Structure 1
Amino acid sequence: MKNTLIIGASPNPARYAYLAAKMLTEKGHSIVNVGIKTGEVAGIPIEKPSVIHTDVDTITLYIGPHLQAGYFDYILKTKPKRVIFNPGTENDELEALLQENQIEAVEACTLVLLSTGQY
């Protein structure tokens, strides 16, 4: 199972980040919720991007490119194996930065990957 950090976590059930958190945990993956909202998702509290988690396999993005620059350093310090750019989060600058640091950049939908067994 892949430890997944969700950037843009939200306690709002209508948000894709919420749905991803639920589906990830239902499929047995452990999650870390990171975002500006307060609360919890799938029983896991939403935390600010201050604690560096070094046991993360995948980061899945649910924030737009205009907000991502503030997370570049955090993402690199986390050292994930891959970062998933969900629809609407694609960012050439971040993708290039990831490639320079040997981190796989994937443009895909986490929900689809989970639903089709490709996660």
Structure 2
Amino acid sequence: MKRTVIIGSNPKTNNYAFMAAERLQSHGHEFIPLGISEGQVLGKIILNMYDKPEINEVDTITLYINPHRQIEWYDYILSLKPKRIIFNPGTENQQLKKLAEAQGIICEEACTLVMLSVGNF
């Protein structure tokens, strides 16, 4: 299935990034929680973005951080070489989208939760 990096992961169960992890897992997709919060998501340790961990074979990055906070991570996000980036509601960013598309990355302004529920993830 699609290896998905969830940027903005958080151990709070009422957080949309956490809900996306639950939904991804229930649909059989591997997820990798990445963020600045410490803790776990469904038994997986949240990787610290400040460490810029190497993550290989990324199909999708789904964003749960606002456009202003994305700026410092542009180079790192692009270095993960995803096939696509999903800009969830409130994360839309034309600057990052333009940089990503210039590298052949598909960009979608959509909701990961909705995409999974209707079967077009």
Amino acid at match of 1:28: G
Unpaired stretches in structure 1, ≥5 consecutive residues? none
Aligned length: 119
Deviation at 1:48, TM superposition (A): 1.1
Amino acid at match of 1:37: S
Deviation at 1:75, TM superposition (A): 1.1
Of 1-10 and 36-45, more deviation after overlay is shown by 36-45
Check if 1:99 corresponds to 2:101. Answer: yes
Deviation at 1:12, TM superposition (A): 0.6
Check if 1:8 corresponds to 2:8. Answer: yes
Corresponding position of 1:48: 48
Of all paired residues, the percent bearing the same amino acid is: 50
- State the SS of the aligned residue for 1:106: strand
RMSD: 0.7
Unpaired stretches in structure 2, ≥5 consecutive residues? none
Deviation at 1:60, TM superposition (A): 0.1
Pairing of 1:1-119 with structure 2 (within 5 A) = 1-49=1-49, 50-119=52-121
Q: Per-residue displacement from partner, 1:32-64 (whole Å, max 9, x unpaired)? A: 110011111121110112112121100000000
Deviation at 1:80, TM superposition (A): 0.2
Deviating 4+ runs (over 2 angstroms) = none
Provide the C-alpha distance between the structure 2 equivalents of 1:118 and 1:97, rounded to a whole number of angstroms.
24
Q: Per-residue displacement from partner, 1:8-37 (whole Å, max 9, x unpaired)? A: 001111110000001101111111110011
State the TM-score, normalized to the length of structure 2: 0.96
State the TM-score, normalized to the length of structure 1: 0.97
